[in-house]
């Protein structure tokens, strides 16, 4: 069958972080404690205002299908937020609410490109981008960024790599797995390229040492922006994201949405209205927590002499070179998990060049992050000299 051979000819890699998580859960079921620094999921509780709005949506029976673009009230709040933060006008009708930002990525690629189009992925990259491109029959072109350049995109080099086949580029800023934001200069230059930019800004708002930004600041009309509520508001399981689309693409994306998803989860849409009522102080508290966690991890990495040459300014990730200890960090992660009960993400998830890297997620509590880093130190001292 066509479908069978298509899947066979397209080997989809596992999401290795999920595999480590599932392995960790197996160990936990046997009663052993595991410290989770592998998964990119804030342990923070969802704000009570959001929970209240969700309850209200249920009690007032707001749980049927919505408009395929999503409820206008939420799209208007998002639009106003862009105006407030970046002084740009985004028509609410250019915003399409999706089932997590994962669906936003899928719909963006389907909307902006055709089968066999070449799409650039900035690497190290979010694990799912190449897998989604493979599933959709798009051609992947990896463009590397380097630790010595603070993982900034070298735009001159990027220009050299563009061909007539290159139709789009996916950039993630602030980035998973590095925790680095692309500079305003880079964002500005990306907007000037003659290809479609898809900017995944799911970590927007989680800036520790860098201003909150968006590529839309530099051109509010042309880039596609992916965003959502999973990370900043700790709403991972609520499955709510969105796309900001160029006007001419809205209708096409909407038709895809109607056919593939109908609409984003209704209760989550109503609940997300309250995210805009969370005070600046609450947000500052969250950023301060991440700052404390990050600074602790950085200090500990220095103490245990893990090589490190860049500045993770945002999100809750640190990507580090473990070549001093391993040629295969997937094996290393499994061993650390089994020997000392610490779960970390293997670098292979984020690009073939990163087989010797691990990603540390400091999205948990300070106590857990501290315990996790102490376990890493213990492992390296005891088992891996």
Ligand X SMILES: Cc1ncc(COP(=O)(O)O)c(C=O)c1O
| In the complex, least distance from residue 61 CB atom to ligand X, rounded to whole angstroms | 26
Task: Between 113 and 178, name the residue whose CB sits nearer to ligand X.
Answer: 178
* Residue indicated by tokens 């590397």: 144
Nearest to 24 by CA among 337, 327, 304, 240: 337
| In the complex, least distance from residue 1 CB atom to ligand X, rounded to whole angstroms | 30
Classify strands 357-361 and 345-346 as parallel, antiparallel or unpaired.
Answer: antiparallel
Task: Between 47 and 200, name the residue whose CB sits nearer to ligand X.
Answer: 200
Alpha carbon distance 14, 23 (integer Å): 13
Q: Does 102 bind ligand X (CB under 6 A)?
A: yes
Provide the sign of the torsion angle of the four alpha carbons 318, 319, 325, 331, taken in this order.
positive
- Where in 315-334 is the site for ligand X (CB under 6 A)? none
Among 202, 298, 306, 375, binds ligand X (CB under 6 A): 202
Alpha carbon distance 85, 212 (integer Å): 8
Q: Does 205 bind ligand X (CB under 6 A)?
A: no
- Residue 318 to residues 28, 73, 165, 344: CA-CA distances in angstroms? 25, 36, 34, 11
Q: Does 100 bind ligand X (CB under 6 A)?
A: yes
Torsion of CA 302, 182, 254, 234, to 10 degrees: 30
Among 200, 216, 312, 348, binds ligand X (CB under 6 A): 200
Structure tokens at 189: 């230059």
| In the complex, least distance from residue 363 CB atom to ligand X, rounded to whole angstroms | 10
Applying CB under 6 A, the span of 43-51, 99-107, 206-214, 294-302 interacting with ligand X comes to 99-107
Alpha carbon distance 169, 188 (integer Å): 14
Task: Between 172 and 213, name the residue whose CB sits nearer to ligand X.
Answer: 172
Partners of 343 in the beta sheet? 36
- Where in 15-74 is the site for ligand X (CB under 6 A)? 40
Helices (H), 307-350: 329-340
Alpha carbon distance 42, 362 (integer Å): 8
* Residue indicated by tokens 């909307």: 111
Count Cα atoms within 13 angstroms, Cβ side, for 324. 12
**Which segments of 110-236 are extended strands (E)?**
118-123, 139-144, 166-172, 196-200, 224-228
| In the complex, least distance from residue 331 CB atom to ligand X, rounded to whole angstroms | 23
Applying CB under 6 A, the span of 59-67, 100-108, 191-199, 297-305 interacting with ligand X comes to 100-108
| In the complex, least distance from residue 127 CB atom to ligand X, rounded to whole angstroms | 8
Task: Between 102 and 123, name the residue whose CB sits nearer to ligand X.
Answer: 102
Among 123, 230, 274, 326, binds ligand X (CB under 6 A): 230
Q: Does 176 bind ligand X (CB under 6 A)?
A: yes
| In the complex, least distance from residue 182 CB atom to ligand X, rounded to whole angstroms | 13
Per-residue x/- track, 232-271, ligand X (CB under 6 A): ----x----x------------------------------
What angle, rounded to 10 degrees, do the helices at 280-303 and 366-382 form? 10
SS3 139: strand
Q: Does 126 bind ligand X (CB under 6 A)?
A: yes
Structure tokens at 22: 């599932």
The residue nearest ligand X at its CB is 100
| In the complex, least distance from residue 382 CB atom to ligand X, rounded to whole angstroms | 32
Among 172, 257, 274, 326, binds ligand X (CB under 6 A): 172
Contact positions vs ligand X (CB under 6 A): 40, 100-102, 126, 172, 176, 200, 202, 228, 230, 236, 241
């Amino acid at each position: 069958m066509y479908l069978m051979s298509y899947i066979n000819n397209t080997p989809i890699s596992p999401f290795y972080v999920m595999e480590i998580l599932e392995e960790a859960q197996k160990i936990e079921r046997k009663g052993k404690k595991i410290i989770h620094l592998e998964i990119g999921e804030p342990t923070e509780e969802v704000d009570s205002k959001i929970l209240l709005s969700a309850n209200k949506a249920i009690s007032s029976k707001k749980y049927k299908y919505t408009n395929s673009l999503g409820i206008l009230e939420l799209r208007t709040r998002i639009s106003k937020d862009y105006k407030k933060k970046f002084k740009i006008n985004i028509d609410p009708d250019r915003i399409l609410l999706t089932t997590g930002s994962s669906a936003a990525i899928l719909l963006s690629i389907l909307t902006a490109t055709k089968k066999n189009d070449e799409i650039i992925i900035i690497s190290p990259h979010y694990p799912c981008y190449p897998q989604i491109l493979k599933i959709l029959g798009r051609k992947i072109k990896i463009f590397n960024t380097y630790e010595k350049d603070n993982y900034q995109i070298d735009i001159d080099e990027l220009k050299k790599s563009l061909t007539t086949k290159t139709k789009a580029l996916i950039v993630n800023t602030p980035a998973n797995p590095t925790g680095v934001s692309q500079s305003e200069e880079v964002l500005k230059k990306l907007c000037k390229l003659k290809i479609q930019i898809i900017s995944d800004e799911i970590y927007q708002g989680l800036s520790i040492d860098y201003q909150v930004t968006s590529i839309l600041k530099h051109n509010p009309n042309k880039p596609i922006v992916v965003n959502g509520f999973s990370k900043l508001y700790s709403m991972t399981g609520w499955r709510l994201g969105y796309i900001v689309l160029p006007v001419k693409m809205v209708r096409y994306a909407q038709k895809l949405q109607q056919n593939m998803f109908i609409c984003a989860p209704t209760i989550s849409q109503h609940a997300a209205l309250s995210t805009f009522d969370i005070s600046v102080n609450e947000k500052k508290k969250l950023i301060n927590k991440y700052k404390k966690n990050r600074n602790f991890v950085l200090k500990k990495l220095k103490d245990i002499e893990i090589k490190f040459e860049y500045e993770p300014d945002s999100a809750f990730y640190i990507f580090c070179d473990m070549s001093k200890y391993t040629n295969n960090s997937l094996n290393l992660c499994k061993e650390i998990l089994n020997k000392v009960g610490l779960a970390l993400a293997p670098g292979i998830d984020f690009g073939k060049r990163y087989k010797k890297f691990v990603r540390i997620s400091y999205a948990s509590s300070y106590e857990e992050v501290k315990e996790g880093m102490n376990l890493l130190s213990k492992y390296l001292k005891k088992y891996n000299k």
